[in-house]
């Protein structure tokens, strides 16, 4: 597969591959092809983030659909940043994409593209909050509480055992944006 045996990904690849039966391994490659990834893209994704291949079929499909449909990514964008497939959809991806969408729509941050979104998704929580949430709390004071509420909602669902990806339920994205805009309108009307 072309791994450098000194690479940290080499060990992850061995662990990921050895944890799958031959049938599951073949199913994973078939899934990537079915989703539209070329063999070269799939191989590149495996080399960059081998643990992404051990995710359930539903989780992979759900994340790919979210990024291609809701975020307008090309498959090549996902292939270049395959680590994003392993991030928690409800606790990380959706809340962060919601914050970014509000900031883009208010003209507070630059262009909306796959590169800027994936960079934001890969940040550790503290850095993301500093760079995209608390930095804008004077302009959008409700952004902090809305972001924290969405994270807490995902945690509550997880505590209640609702952890599986329900076939791409993105209701929270429009709700979050509407909530932030309504609160902002109320805030501005009281000035």
**Residue spans per domain, the chain:** 88-189
Helices marked H in the chain: 8-18, 22-35, 39-48, 57-65, 75-80, 94-105, 114-122, 125-128, 142-159, 172-189
- Other CB atoms within a 10 A radius of the CB of residue 128 amount to 19
Comparing CA positions, the residue from 76, 85, 77 lying closest to residue 56 is 85
What is the average per-residue pLDDT within 109-130? 93
CA distance 136 to 144: 9
C-alpha distances in angstroms, 129 versus 25, 70, 125? 37, 22, 6
Using pLDDT thresholds of 50, 70 and 90, give the confidence band for residue 3.
low
Question: What pTM value is reported for the model?
Answer: 0.77
What is the average per-residue pLDDT within 87-98? 91
């Amino acid at each position: 597969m072309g791994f450098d045996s000194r690479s940290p990904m080499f060990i992850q690849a061995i662990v990921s591959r050895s944890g799958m039966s031959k049938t599951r391994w073949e199913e994973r490659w078939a899934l990537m092809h079915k989703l539209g990834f070329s063999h070269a893209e799939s191989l590149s994704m495996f080399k960059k983030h081998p643990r992404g291949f051990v995710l359930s079929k539903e989780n992979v499909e759900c994340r790919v659909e979210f990024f291609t449909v809701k975020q307008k990514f090309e498959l090549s964008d996902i292939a270049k940043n395959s680590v994003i497939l392993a991030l928690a959809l409800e606790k990380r991806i959706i809340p962060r994409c919601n914050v970014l969408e509000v900031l883009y729509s208010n003209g507070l941050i630059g262009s909306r593209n796959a590169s800027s979104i994936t960079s934001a998704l890969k940040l550790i929580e503290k850095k993301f909050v500093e760079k995209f949430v608390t930095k804008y709390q004077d302009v959008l004071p409700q952004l902090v509480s809305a972001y924290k509420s969405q994270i807490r909602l995902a945690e509550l669902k997880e505590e209640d055992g609702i952890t599986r990806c329900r076939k791409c339920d993105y209701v929270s994205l429009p709700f979050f944006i509407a909530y932030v805009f309504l609160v902002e309108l109320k805030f501005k009307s009281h000035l």
